[in-house]
Homo-oligomer: A and B are copies of this chain.
Amino acid sequence: MLTPLLKRIESFGPLQPDEKDAVANVVSRVVNFAAREDIIHEGDRASDCTLILEGYAFRFNHLPDGRRQITALHIPGDFADLQGVLLNSITDGLGTFTPCKVAFVPHTALREITKQHPYLARVLWTITLIDGAIQRQWITALGRLSARERVAHQPCELFVRLKAAGRVEDDSCELPITQEEMGDAFGASGVHINRTLQALRSSALIELRGKRLTVLDWERLSNLAQFSPDYLHLGQRVARD
């Protein structure tokens, strides 16, 4: 089960035979997690990286007093915690929204690969750089957008990412997140998320039925959210020279 790792890495550009071999030979374990389960606890010293194969996951931070902030949403194909490869301590946790199938790739294996194959090191670094760009956009959204704009923004981002992953059909995608969880992600209370979603629905911007989100008016939605997909760096290639 290493095809996913290979696929993810090759999305940044074709590999040479020896690089391909190296990636293919990385031993990884595939593990299943239930919904609402922690994959990594804050403060853990993990020995493996997590590649999401199936399901929705999220990174989070707890404040000492218990408040929680979700700092990233992860969809299939995402490397969720490359930090551990080089950093001694992990300062945030990783949890699941839905049942998830994840591949654990040992840090030692990734370190070895990057030592032997500079190009592969670049790919992983690039993933981290893109993660950073997305995080800065979240900072901007949290700091400068109103709750209504924020609640519009994150679906925009998720929608584009899912589309790139081929997981959008008829302008609709899965959104298996409770309103309380959205609150933790978008920096608002659950109750306020509820009211805000209602406003977006009654403006005919989105539809939310069961766990499915349908974008009814992309133009007005992305406008309201001041969303532009540049920061996602979709289609980014990694240079060899």
Which of A's residues lie within 8 Å of B, judged by CB?
59, 61, 63-65, 67-69, 71-72, 82-83, 86-89, 91-92, 111, 114-116, 118, 121-122, 124-126, 128-133, 135-140, 142-145, 184-187, 226, 228, 230-231, 233, 236-239, 241
A128 engages B125 (CB within 8 Å):
yes
Q: Known: A114-B121, A125-B86, A236-B88. Is A139-B140 also a contact (CB below 8 A)?
A: no
User: Measured between C-beta atoms, what is the minimum distance from A237 to chain B in Å?
Assistant: 8
Q: Are B131 and A87 in contact (CB under 8 A)?
A: no
A12: nearest chain-B partner, CB-CB: B86
Contact status A86-B136, CB under 8 Å: no
Cα-based distance from A185 to B139 in the complex (angstroms) = 9
Q: List chain B residues, Cβ under 8 A from A231.
A: 91
Given A87-B130, A88-B236, A118-B121, A61–B140 Cβ distance below 8 Å?
yes
* A135 close to B137 (CB less than 8 A): no
CB within 8 A of A140: which of B63, B86, B133? B63
A131 to B211, CA, bound (A): 34
A115 CA / B70 CA spacing, docked (Å): 35
When the two chains form the complex, which single residue of B121, B131, B238 contacts A132, counting CB atoms closer than 8 Å? B131
Known: A69-B144, A83-B132, A131-B132. 14 other contacts (CB 8 A): A61-B140, A68-B144, A69-B139, A83-B133, A86-B238, A87-B129, A92-B133, A114-B121, A128-B128, A128-B129, A138-B139, A139-B139, A143-B184, A143-B187
Give every chain B residue within 8 A of A124 (Cβ-Cβ).
125
**Other-chain contact of A135, B68, B82, B125, B136 (Cβ < 8 Å):** B136
CB–CB A63/B239 < 8 A:
no
A152 → chain B closest CB, angstroms? 13
How many Å from the CB of A231 to the closest CB on chain B? 4
Across the interface, A82 reaches (CB within 8 A) one of B83, B116, B129, B145, namely B129
Partner among B69, B111, B121, B144 whose Cβ is within 8 Å of the Cβ of A239:
B111
The 6 closest A-B pairs by CB, nearest first: A143-B187, A142-B142, A69-B140, A135-B135, A61-B140, A71-B136
